[in-house]
Structure 1
Amino acid sequence: MAEATSLVGKLEADVEIKASAGKFHDMFAGRQGEWLKATPGKIKSCELLEGDWGKLGSVVIWNYVHDGEAAMTKKRVEAVDPEKNLIKFRVIEGDMMKDFKSFVSTIQVISKHGEPGSVVKWHMEYEKIIVDAGHPETILQLAVEISKDIDEYLLAEE
C-alpha cells in the first residue's frame, strides 16, 4: 500500500546576511514600499491597503514574479515582535490561493554573536488544496533570493 502524501507541510531556510538583524527586520516591517528598489525584477508593486506598514493586522497587496510569471498576493500581518526581529504574514487572497488553503510565512532575523551579520530564518507553513497543487519550495527559493537582494540594498545604503 502506497503512503499518502500530506497536504500539510512546513519549509525552512536560513539565509546568512551582512546587514544587522534590526536593519533587516525594519526593512520587512516598516519599509516594505522600498522593496521595489531593493528587488529589481522580483517585486513589481506593493500597496498598503489597511493599517500601517508592518503593524499587526495591516494588509498589503504584492505584485511579483514567481517562476517567470506575474503573480499577486494579499497578505495580512499576523504577528510582529521588534525585540525578536520577527514578523509573520498570512496569505489571504491572490494567486497562491489557487493551490493552497492556507500559507503563512514567519521571518525572524537573528544577530550572529561575536561576528558581524545576521541570519534570516524563514519558516513557511502551508496546506495544499490537492496533493499535486503548487510547489512551495519555489516560493521559499524566491524568499531566499529577496532576502539576498534586500541585504545588498541595505549594505549599499551605508
Structure 2
Amino acid sequence: MGGLKRKLEGEIEIRVAGGDAFHDIFQEKPHHIANIHPELVHDCELHDGAFGKPGSKICWKYKLDGKSQSGKQILDVVDEKNKIIKFRMLEGDLMEDYNTFVLTYQVIPKGEHKSLVTWTFEYEKKHPGVPEPSSLMDELLRLAEKIDDHHHAGQPK
C-alpha cells in the first residue's frame, strides 16, 4: 500500500528577525507557544531529554478542528545552520489515522527584511479514507504568523 504515503508542504513569509525568533521558540522554548497561540496550543511538556536537543520527547495538548487533542513527538533533527527542525510523532490523536507522521520546518532568509517558514509533512495514511492533514498545515502556518507578530509587538511595521 505504498500509495498511501504522502507529502504536504506549506510556506508563509515572515519578517527576517522573526525568522530567528521562530526558530528559537521551536527549538528552545516550545512551551511558550501556548502563550502566543492559545487557540491552537494549550500545553507543551518535556517528557524526556532537553528542549532543542535531538532525542527529546515533547507532549503537546492542542485544539484542531474544534477537538481537543494530544500527541507525543520526538525531536529527530536540529540543524542550527540551516534552521531546520524535524519532529516525528510517536503517539496521540494524529496517529489514529496515520502509520507515520513527520513534521519538518525550515526558516529560509529571503532578502533583508523577509524570511520564509516552510512546513513539510511526510506521512502514511492508515487507509484511503483518511483526510489530508490540511487543517493542521493551516494552523501551523497561522502559528508562524502569530510568532512573528508576537516577536514584533510594539515595533513599527
* TM-score interval, normalised by the smaller of the two chains: over 0.9
Aligned-residue RMSD, C-alpha: 1.6
Uncovered stretches (5+) of structure 1, i.e. residues with no partner: none
Identity of aligned residues (%): 35
| Aligned with residue 138 of structure 2, among 131, 138, 141 | 141
In structure 2, the residue matched to 1:13 is 10
1:47 alignment partner, SS class: strand
Alpha-carbon offset, residue 150 of structure 1:
1.2
Name the TM-score, length of structure 2 as normaliser: 0.92
Amino acid in structure 1 at the alignment position of 2:132: H
Alpha-carbon offset, residue 50 of structure 1:
0.5
Q: Aligned ranges for residues 41-120 of structure 1 at < 5 Å?
A: 41-113=39-111, 115-120=112-117
Aligned length: 154
Alpha-carbon offset, residue 47 of structure 1:
0.3
Amino acid in structure 2 at the alignment position of 1:71: Q
- CA deviations 1:17-53 (Å, max 9, x no partner) are 1242222111110010100111121100110001111
Measured in 2, the distance between the counterparts of 1:62 and 1:17 equals 24
Uncovered stretches (5+) of structure 2, i.e. residues with no partner: none
1:91 alignment partner, SS class: strand
Runs of 4+ in 1 over 6 A off after TM superposition: none
1:74–1:157 Cα change, 3 Å: farther
Name the TM-score, length of structure 1 as normaliser: 0.92
Measured in 2, the distance between the counterparts of 1:155 and 1:50 equals 32
Amino acid in structure 2 at the alignment position of 1:127: E
